Amino acid sequence: MASADIANSVLAQAEEIKLQANESFNANKFSQAIDLYTQAIELNGKNAVYWANRAFAHIKLEEYGSAVQDASKAIEVDPKYVKGYYRRGVAYLAMGKLKEALKDFQQVVKVNPNNPDAVKKLKECERAVMKLKFEEAIAVHDVERRSVADSIDFHTIEVEPQYSGARIEGEVVTLDFVKKMMDDFKNQKCLHKRYAYQIVLQTREMLHVLPSLVDITVSDNNHFTVCGDVHGQFYDLLNIFELNGLPSDENPYLFNGDFVDRGSFSLEVILTLFAFKCMSPTAIYLARGNHESKSMNKIYGFEGEVKSKLSETFVEIFAEVFCCLPLAHVINGKVFVVHGGLFSVDGVKLSDIRAIDRFCEPPEEGLMCELLWSDPQPYPGRGPSKRGVGLSFGVDVTKRFLQENNLDLVVRSHEVKDEGYEIEHDGKLITVFSAPNYCDQMGNKGAFIRFQAPDMKPNIVTFSAVPHPDVKPMAYANNFLRLFS
């Protein structure tokens, strides 16, 4: 066969694989689509479409760092390929990098000035950047900032006679109150702001005195449940409690971050978890996720939802409480539980984590950032983060960390998994994710892990999504981001 025929055959094969990748993408099988686009790229790396399509699949999996890399490659291959700039702009936007996104959307309009959709999105981006600049200009430095929570006295807030929802009598949050509140939430009724203030402020007091790394003891023959991301999926949270029982001292839970954002019942989720914490501090433990932060809440819906259902003041108070959340937990000295993952350096001890000053918005590097953002990778060593924040770490990193700290297992969350969980790194690391059919489109199962003392072997329970009222995910998200959803 002539070399030209061979070349054409390879190009045709790449195009056929791209079509298969498109089918996987349209079926929401984004990881499979990435694998297929990769095969097409290996056969023909000079086709900008393959790079941009793979970038889009990375966006769907929230792998925004990888999306930026692929979209940049598409632009390098074909500087006039509009979708390269568009996809990179969307990825920057999702990372909160509005100024970088603006440059890409300006380029989209420059290449394609008669596209009304592109012009509309550019104007929205310009508005968002102007707003950001204004907020930066009037921002008060943390050192000067007075606590909003300290200025609130919930006792002085009157409850109207016609209010028929759940009530806290006095200072104590009871199980009866929490059950009534959850039932009201299930029926899409609101909690009076007096009781919302009481729950959130009491939770803040409890969390504030905890160390950044919390030790949990489970006595012999008792059990302990770890849940992953819930992401505002309140009705799936209720289903977890149906399957595994309500939190109590005899049935304790750890919720491992990302309680809010994306799902449009985030307020109901966070008030339920906080109320159980108030009812009994040892019935429920809460860890910070990367979405318990101002920058994420501003983009992905929690801020908009809180403003809509409660008030702007609550946005500030939740931000303060999120800064009090512990960063990691150790169960019975053996199981290390963290939202994201491990570190860019070896030799990190549990005492180093315990010593982190966590009372701040998450920084963009360092131990706290890595605890919230990192992900495991299937090969040894360390690599750049597919998210653009944190890093990827291999089996050798996991095993060294466990060995140096006399631990048996890492449990983390942070990533959607088809079965609700994944066991990696020779069984030394488990990802658990508790938001089934994530964002109403991923089709994944949810999972939680039950540990029984003293052996502390993980027993993984999976479950499917349950129906919820017709409020779409991201309903309260940043207007600009919704344009690209």
Q: Both 232 and 263 in a single domain?
A: yes
Residues 231 and 115 in one domain: no
The answer, yes or no, to whether residue 308 has pLDDT greater than 70, is yes
Same-domain status, 290 and 407: yes
pLDDT at 485 over 60: no
The residues that bridge with 450 in the sheet, in sequence order, are 225, 459
Domain boundary among 87, 114, 138: 138
Q: What phi and psi values does residue 153 have, to the nearest 5 degrees?
A: -120, 100
Q: Does 213 map to a domain?
A: yes
Confidence of residue 94 (pLDDT cuts 50, 70, 90): confident
CATH number reported for the structural domain that contains residue 109 in this entry = 1.25.40.10
Residue 34 lies in a domain: yes
Q: Which residue has the higher pLDDT, 362 or 145?
A: 362
Residue 244 located in a structural domain: yes
Nearest CA-CA partner of 338 in 290, 377, 384: 290
Does 299 map to a domain? yes
Query: Do 456 and 320 share a domain, yes or no?
Result: yes
Please indicate, yes or no, whether residues 132 and 161 belong to a single structural domain of this protein. Answer: no
**Assigned domain for 144 exists:** no
For residues 115 and 193, state if they share a domain: no
Instruction: Determine the 3-state secondary structure of 140 from DSSP.
Output: coil
Task: Tell me, yes or no, whether 316 lies in a domain.
Answer: yes
Residue 427 falls within a domain, yes or no?
yes
166 and 112 share a domain? no
Question: Do the domain assignments include residue 143?
Answer: no
CATH number at residue 443: 3.60.21.10
Range of the domain at 30: 3-138
Q: What is the mean pLDDT of residues 353-370?
A: 96
Q: How far apart, in whole angstroms, are the C-alpha atoms of residue 58 and residue 392?
A: 15
Helix boundaries (H) for 310-391? 312-322, 350-354, 367-373
**Per-residue pLDDT tens digits for 39-51:** 999 999 999 999 9
Same domain, 162 and 116: no
Largest distance between two CA atoms of the chain: 88
Number of domains in the chain: 2
Over pLDDT 90: what percentage of the chain? 84
State whether 228 and 129 are in the same domain. Answer: no
The reported pLDDT for the residue numbered 470 is 95
Cβ-defined contacts of 98-104 (< 8 Å, 24+): 98/125, 98/128, 98/129, 98/132, 99/129, 99/132, 101/125, 102/126, 102/129
Question: Based on the domain organization, do 173 and 321 belong to the same domain?
Answer: yes
Catalytic residues: 291
Q: Whole-angstrom Cα distance, residue 52 to residue 34?
A: 11
Of 112, 138, 164, the domain-final residue: 138
Under a CB-based contact definition with an 8 Å cutoff, are residues 375 and 320 in contact? no
Q: Between β-strands 335-338 and 409-412, what pairing exists: parallel, antiparallel or unpaired?
A: parallel
C-alpha span between 405 and 58 (Å, rounded): 34
What's the pTM value of the predicted model, to 2 decimals?
A: 0.93
* pLDDT tens column, 175-232: 999 999 999 999 999 999 999 999 999 999 999 999 999 999 999 999 999 999 999 9
Q: Which of 138, 165, 190 is the last residue of a domain?
A: 138
Q: Residues 457-480: what's their mean pLDDT?
A: 92
Q: What is the mean pLDDT of the chain?
A: 93
